[in-house]
């Protein structure tokens, strides 16, 4: 009964006040709910789940995440992480796993975690059950076959999803994991810009969105060593995202 009642209440009224505050913070710090992203989500009929941006209170810890791999860059990312004793979560694209299975196995052997980022960067909105299975279920299978690891978390491409995909993920034992710091490295703004955006927004329990695929990630790689040096100098540790 409570579930049905909640569905009858328009979500835009329930979360409006929270959205206003988060948009303001995102515009300042490069978070996920910028005005441009909200416009794009609205145009596609998708929703940002504000309640999924959980308040993480891991004192002195930052959670690094890498989307859109694995690619040839992933091994270089692992090399940098190793120098700083940093643990990260990688969210692979399913269709790329088989060709790069060895580097994913290396990642898990070195203590990193794997999530699910759909088969081909699919938008988790208005999907039929079979479409969802092809996007998420198939990715679960290929990651498990390649590494022996079954992901326990799902990152929706673009950070957008709807109630149906949320429910299906929960039924599959997948938590939906977003981020709190987005330096927009995928736009190639320059390595120095990426570093400053992450360092300026760093805080206890921050979830940093970076990419090891989806295009030329040379700027991300160049930025990674510097930002890890600066954050470790500020006594941050780099731990796996809770839930993954």
Structural domain boundaries of the chain?
53-238
Distance CA 92, CA 121 (A): 9
The CATH number of 53-238 is which of 3.40.50.720, 1.20.1740.10, 3.90.480.20, 3.20.20.370? 3.20.20.370
pTM for the predicted model, two decimal places? 0.80
Per-residue pLDDT at 243 = 86
Distance CA 25, CA 56 (A): 16
Per-residue pLDDT at 32 = 45
Active site residue 216: no
Name the catalytic one among 121, 182, 211, 212. Answer: 211
Asked if 175 contacts 243 with a C-beta cutoff of 8 angstroms, the reply is: yes
Active site residue 76: no
Backbone angles phi, psi at 96, to 5 degrees: -100, -5
Residue 220: CB atoms within 10 Å: 25
Helix (H) or strand (E) holding 153: strand 153-154
118: left (phi over 0), alpha (psi -120 to 50) or beta: left
Name the catalytic one among 67, 182, 185, 212. Answer: 67
Per-residue pLDDT at 57 = 58
Per-residue pLDDT of the chain (244 residues; tens, 9 = 90+): 333 333 343 343 333 334 434 444 443 444 444 434 443 443 343 444 433 454 455 789 999 999 999 999 999 999 999 999 999 999 999 999 999 999 999 999 999 999 999 999 999 999 999 999 999 999 999 999 999 999 999 999 999 999 999 999 999 999 999 999 999 999 999 999 999 999 999 999 999 999 999 999 999 999 999 999 999 999 999 999 998 9
């Amino acid at each position: 009964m409570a579930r049905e009642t909640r569905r009858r209440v328009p979500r835009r009224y329930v979360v409006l006040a929270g959205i206003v505050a988060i948009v303001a913070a995102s515009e300042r710090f490069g978070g996920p709910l910028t005005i441009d992203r909200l416009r794009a989500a609205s145009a596609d009929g998708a929703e940002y789940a504000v309640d999924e941006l959980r308040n993480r209170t891991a004192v002195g810890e930052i959670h690094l995440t890498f989307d859109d791999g694995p690619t040839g860059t992933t091994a270089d990312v692992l090399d940098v992480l190793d120098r700083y004793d940093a643990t990260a979560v990688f969210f692979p694209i399913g269709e790329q796993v088989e060709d790069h299975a060895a580097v994913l196995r290396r990642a898990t052997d070195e203590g990193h975690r794997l999530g699910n980022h759909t088969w081909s960067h699919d938008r988790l909105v208005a999907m039929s059950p079979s479409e969802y299975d092809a996007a998420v279920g198939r990715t679960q299978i290929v990651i498990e076959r390649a590494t022996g690891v079954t992901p326990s978390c799902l990152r929706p491409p673009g950070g957008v999803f709807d109630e149906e995909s949320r429910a299906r993920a929960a039924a599959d034992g997948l938590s939906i994991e977003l981020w709190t710091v987005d330096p927009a490295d995928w736009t190639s703004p320059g390595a120095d810009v990426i570093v400053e955006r992450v360092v300026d927004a760093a805080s206890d329990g921050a979830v940093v969105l970076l990419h090891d695929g989806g295009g030329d990630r040379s700027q991300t790689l160049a930025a990674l060593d510097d930002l890890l040096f600066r954050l470790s100098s500020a006594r941050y540790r780099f731990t796996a995202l809770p839930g993954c």
